[in-house]
Chains A and B, each alone.
Chain A
Amino acid sequence: MSQQAPNPGRRRFLAVATSAVGIAGAAATAFPFVRSMQSAKDTLAMSTTEVEIGLVELGQMIVVPWQGKPVFIVHRTEEMLGTLDARTDLKDPMSDEPEGGDNPEWFLSGDEKVKAYRAQRPEWYISSAVCTHLGCVPLFKPEIGDPEMGGNWQGGWHCPCHGSKYDLAGRVIEGSPAPRNLQIMKYAFMSDTTVLIG
């Protein structure tokens, strides 16, 4: 070992420099570990689901998985569509909330009919099946005037967990604990019988 006179200035510099570089290196090393916990590439690739809707009858609803969560698809009748006009009991009839929220492109650029019926094609209603209150899956109550639903039931969904109600366009009805309409998402019709969700 060379016997150089101890140089405190140099020592200080090297202590700081080595520690700084070392800590930077350690921090950089943490990055891949955290990153590895994010969605893997094949998980992300599952972001779309193709659904065959040819066999869904008028008035019928199916629930399909998309990104691991349930999605409602309803083949709406004319009568069902009729229940959507001139509603006064909705919290957010034009789906304005939340401001700049998660509404997909097709909705934002759609005309009034699209905004009211909340669908690209009025007869096909497609939305998330997750109640915007605390995440349960609401029950489908399509029967207009259903005595169980009391009063003036116009058809829609009723969430068994805390009582939230939605109309046949998934819009939340006044008096429900749920704050927002059922979430609509990006989808596209591949044909009259196939829709690609996501």
Chain B
Amino acid sequence: MIDKIMETPLFKWVDKRMGVGDMIRSQATEYPAPNNLSYMWNFGSLAIFVLIIQVVTGIFLAMYYKPDAAIAFDSVERIMREVNYGWLLRYMHAIGASAFFVVIYMHIGRNMYYGSYKAPRELLWIVGVVILLIMQGTAFFGYLLPWGQMSFWGAAVITNLFGALPYIGDFLVELLRGGFGVDDPTLNRFFSLHYLFPFLLFAVVGVHMQALHMVHSNNPDGVEFKELEKTGRTVPLHPYYTIKDLFGLGVFLIGYCYFIFYNPTGWGYFMEVDNFVPANPMQTPAEIKPLWYLTPWYAILRSFPWKLIGVIAMGASLAVLFLLPWLDRAKERSGRRRPVFRIALALWFVAVVLLGYCGLNPPTETLTMLGRLCTAYYFGFFIALPWISKSDDKPATSA
């Protein structure tokens, strides 16, 4: 069908002036992808789709939302009650945030398992980690906006953390807050930054795609792409993967819409109970915690009784991701052919999930111990990786 469109006079007119035809050919209809990608490869395009949902719903919400501490909470309720389909916009956006992280964690998990961060894809991976960080920033800024109890206190705790840094700590905290505590200036600037960051995301995603198209996709068996091309084991992105992605999109939308229409609060995980109470600087809620997608790092933070070490550890847990391509020294890419790495990584995923669980719950003795154990494993995995990665080593798959 696309070829039919590309033959029309109108298309040819535009193509002559903008080279659209070449773009479509090089990026889609003649862009080679491995023919053996599993459904685990759907998450990249899905992430772009969710980003678009978030930006579009965000823009329409911003037509009514008021970033003023005195009326922000009311403006959200106004959207829920008075704005036509405002409730739908709000739920799409709130659940979309969680959906974004589900998709991206699946995407990252896939990259780690199949070695998609290995040469020549190191830079692709690094850009990807940058995307994760921008996403976390966006989510953090965004969560303050409804100005509920959890919004306020979550922001208070996290902005407070920066104070632990020596010399620049207090300066940073004041810069973030715009005052002594989290208040109206904080809300206004978080709104501004929350609006900005997704557009940074588009730019970085563009870089990510540029890097990807240079080296092409990895595949579940970790076979070198050049090898696949040589042996005719590639297919053009369009129509094979565009249609497969469309199907994957359908499956995703079913899950996404189930939550929007039948379970918008997601059992309290997508929209927290405490956030239906307007922010009260005089009273802390029983528990302060971020939404589920930030809880693993929250748990790492809480694992250390010293504030500065906790902050450094939390930062390190994200920074260490950048080093993965160099810590993993195996020639073999795919986890499918790396039995030792596979187990170690599976346990790492378990550790992250358990850390999330710890972060979601109050820090009892048991959970604190569990959190520390998992934190140790989290870092231990990366530290041990240069050695354990060699134990699976076989020459990189050629056939």
Rounded to whole Å, the gap between the CB of A32 and the closest CB of chain B is 4
* B52-63 contact mask (Cβ, 8 Å, vs A): 1 or 0: 000010001001
Q: List 17 A-B contacts (CB under 8 A).
A: A15-B1, A22-B246, A32-B84, A32-B89, A33-B56, A33-B85, A33-B89, A36-B85, A36-B89, A38-B84, A40-B78, A40-B82, A40-B83, A40-B84, A41-B82, A41-B83, A42-B78
- Please name the 10 residue pairs, one residue from A and one from B, whose CB atoms are nearest each other, closest first: A32-B85, A42-B82, A40-B82, A41-B82, A40-B83, A35-B84, A36-B85, A36-B84, A32-B88, A35-B85
Q: Is the CB of A41 within 8 A of B246?
A: no
Chain A residue contacts of B83, Cβ below 8 A: 36, 40-41
Is B86 an interface residue, CB under 8 A from the partner?
yes
* B63-76 contact mask (Cβ, 8 Å, vs A): 1 or 0: 11000000000000
Q: Is the CB of B246 within 8 A of A18?
A: yes
Question: Which residues from 13 to 55 on chain A have a C-beta closer than 8 Å to any C-beta of chain B?
Answer: 15, 18-19, 22, 32-33, 35-38, 40-43
A-to-B contact residues, CB < 8 Å: 15, 18-19, 22, 32-33, 35-38, 40-43
Chain A residue nearest in CB terms to B86: A36
Q: Is the CB of A40 within 8 A of B64?
A: yes
Chain B residue contacts of A18, Cβ below 8 A: 246
| Tally of B interface residues using CB under 8 Å | 15
From A19, A33, A42, give the contact of B60 (CB < 8 A): A33
Most buried by B among A19, A22, A38, A41: A41
Q: Is the CB of B86 within 8 A of A40?
A: yes
Separation of A38 and B63 alpha carbons in the complex (Å): 11
A36-B60, A40-B78, A41-B84 known; 7 new pairs, CB 8 Å cut-off, are A18-B246, A33-B56, A36-B84, A36-B89, A37-B63, A41-B81, A42-B78
Chain A residue contacts of B63, Cβ below 8 A: 36-37
Chain B residue contacts of A22, Cβ below 8 A: 246
Rounded to whole Å, the gap between the CB of B82 and the closest CB of chain A is 4
Separation of A40 and B78 alpha carbons in the complex (Å): 9
Chain A residue contacts of B84, Cβ below 8 A: 32, 35-36, 38, 40-41
Chain A residue nearest in CB terms to B64: A40
Chain B residue contacts of A19, Cβ below 8 A: 1
Chain A residue contacts of B82, Cβ below 8 A: 40-43
Rounded to whole Å, the gap between the CB of B264 and the closest CB of chain A is 15
Separation of A42 and B64 alpha carbons in the complex (Å): 12
Rounded to whole Å, the gap between the CB of B207 and the closest CB of chain A is 28
Chain A residue nearest in CB terms to B61: A36
Most buried by A among B1, B81, B84, B88: B84
Separation of A18 and B84 alpha carbons in the complex (Å): 30
Separation of A43 and B79 alpha carbons in the complex (Å): 12
Separation of A36 and B81 alpha carbons in the complex (Å): 12
Chain B residue nearest in CB terms to A25: B253
Chain A residue contacts of B81, Cβ below 8 A: 41
Separation of A40 and B81 alpha carbons in the complex (Å): 9
Separation of A117 and B60 alpha carbons in the complex (Å): 46
Chain B residue contacts of A38, Cβ below 8 A: 84
Chain A residue contacts of B88, Cβ below 8 A: 32
Rounded to whole Å, the gap between the CB of B40 and the closest CB of chain A is 16
Separation of A66 and B239 alpha carbons in the complex (Å): 57
Rounded to whole Å, the gap between the CB of A11 and the closest CB of chain B is 10
Rounded to whole Å, the gap between the CB of A35 and the closest CB of chain B is 5
